[in-house]
A and B are shown apart, each in its own frame.
Chain A
């Protein structure tokens, strides 16, 4: 499981890095076309924003995998190892529960958009595809947390719960 997540996280990182480079190129192309040929790419701004939204939610899986989410670790920083482990287990359970709970409603919203076939105003991109990235991000973060929870629990069992 850990290996699969590792590969997936790397793949996501590389794909999103390429997406970011393409976004820069599209933005600069839009600026150049406007100033040189007086042409505006009306779909470009919307596409760029949607690409960023996708980057944020799908990229959050990578952030979870690297355990780099912003947090305030003032109290836990100086806590004993046992307390830190307890908080870590509790955190993974909360992450799985909250992300899957929100993902459930996210799935409902995305299904509705898909059934209606709603398209974006300018670029005419199916909105379920864009809003679906929220769902993907939430499920991905829940999976990473579940894998980490498994690691934490089996580690406790291996060390006889002495930590």
Chain B
């Protein structure tokens, strides 16, 4: 069993095989060679793993994000953020950070935020003489906040893997997300003052009113999603579907920025992205079921019990593991691979599964912009043509900020759980 459930997938993964194939091969081999059960069960579990209503939110949120990106909603939100600020040192980076947070709060996909932010913000940052290393670090890290603030795609995947409630996870992500935004803003202000960066234009009521008028429809998206879910009007899946329709109607009917061809193209991209993620979810469902029935996680819990580790040491060890994994594997695959193994360990020492979901998400958000394979880095690099060494150099201070936030989120569970009790009661 060790060969088929541990060695085989590890070797295949290191050989760069697709993750769905790694999981499917390991599951098929385990069932065929070490378990005496009908192989037809493989089909049943493949199907059952994705046959879940909660997972419908995933394609709909991705589609809504695609429509908003193509429909110019994101650009208008950035304009609105910029016009809302007065003469402060570091105004442009502050605009980038807050726009990243707001855009993240309407798409839940980090790479989409980075693509939009770099298209709009990089020229402004260069105009204000910010070095490319700082700008790239800022943009890739600001784009990563999107996966922590609701609606977050990794949280939907974690909810499916851990059988947790999506609204509870979303509520728990609000304050950790805002904490990171706050820390990034403080850093931007500090850099602005220390290097005597230009304070840009002063606040103008006329510019603000213009930007507000242009961006009011765009600002309706986060209100619709968050207000709809916590106002008890929609389930997360319905909120995602309604956000798609809203984004299309606003981009096509009001802003006249989106054509029907764009709509079809956005839908095609969404379908491919959804299949890419959910084929892994289907195969991971079979794999995690085999891990459970073969008591792999039970044996791990017994091992940790025998070591008598303090919860804080276990959390530290898990954080280090997640940071390393986050650098090498994409967040969604990492969640699907690690949740069945880590969740029993973490609940055994009394950590709330919702709190753990946020720790996992923050760790994997860091993985989005850390070398060698942070997806945000490649999105920025492909759009800006900034040398990879320059980008890597600029990431370090932002990595430190995220690490500080991660420590706070890990060891102060109230940062996550306060949002849950505030929005959903106990």
Contacts and interface: CB of A to CB of B under 8 A. Distances in A.
Contacts of B14: 72, 74-75
Interface string B159-202: 00000000000000000000000000000000000000000000
Interface residues of A, number: 59
Contact of B275 (A59, A99, A135): A59
B263 interface: yes
B268 A91 contact: no
A109 B56 CA distance: 25
Nearest to B62: A20
A55 interface: yes
- Most chain B CB atoms below 10 A, which of A25, A49, A102, A112: A102
A74 B13 CA distance: 9
A30 B241 CA distance: 11
A95 B264 CA distance: 30
30 contacts: A13-B268, A17-B268, A20-B59, A23-B60, A25-B245, A27-B238, A31-B242, A49-B55, A52-B50, A56-B278, A56-B282, A63-B272, A69-B279, A70-B277, A70-B330, A71-B18, A74-B372, A75-B14, A76-B16, A91-B21, A94-B17, A98-B21, A98-B25, A102-B43, A105-B40, A106-B42, A108-B43, A130-B47, A131-B43, A134-B46
A19 B242 CA distance: 16
A82 B179 CA distance: 48
B313 interface: no
Contacts of A69: 18-21, 276, 279
A16 interface: yes
Interface in B1-57: 12-21, 24-25, 28, 39-40, 42-44, 46-47, 50-53, 55-56
A157 B420 CA distance: 61
B238 A31 contact: yes
Contact of B271 (A17, A70, A110): A17
B268 A52 contact: no
Contact of A24 (B25, B245, B274, B282): B245
Nearest to A87: B15
Contact of A70 (B44, B237, B332): B332
Interface string A24-55: 11011011000000000000010011101101
Give the top 9 A-B pairs by smallest Cβ distance, nearest first.
A59-B275, A69-B18, A76-B16, A17-B267, A27-B241, A109-B43, A56-B278, A105-B39, A16-B271
Contacts of B279: 56-57, 60, 63, 69, 137
Interface string B274-296: 11111110100000000000000
Contact of B241 (A28, A62, A72): A28
Contact of B43 (A20, A21, A106): A106
B370 to A, nearest CB: 13
Contacts, number: 183
A7 B63 CA distance: 24
Nearest to A27: B241
B333 interface: yes
Nearest to B286: A102
A116 interface: no
B244 interface: yes
A23 to B, nearest CB: 8
A95 B24 CA distance: 10
Nearest to B332: A70
B272 A59 contact: yes
A73 B16 contact: yes
Contacts of B264: 14, 17-18, 21
Interface in B103-140: none
Contacts of A60: 20, 275-276, 279
A128 B343 CA distance: 34
Interface in B60-85: 60, 63
Contacts of B53: 45, 48-49
Given A25-B245, A52-B56, 11 more contacts: A13-B268, A20-B270, A24-B241, A24-B244, A27-B242, A28-B242, A55-B271, A60-B275, A73-B373, A74-B372, A105-B42
The residue in B17, B55, B234, B264 that gathers the most chain A C-beta atoms within 10 A of its C-beta is B17
A50 B63 CA distance: 18
B328 A72 contact: yes
A32 B24 CA distance: 40
Contacts of B25: 94, 98
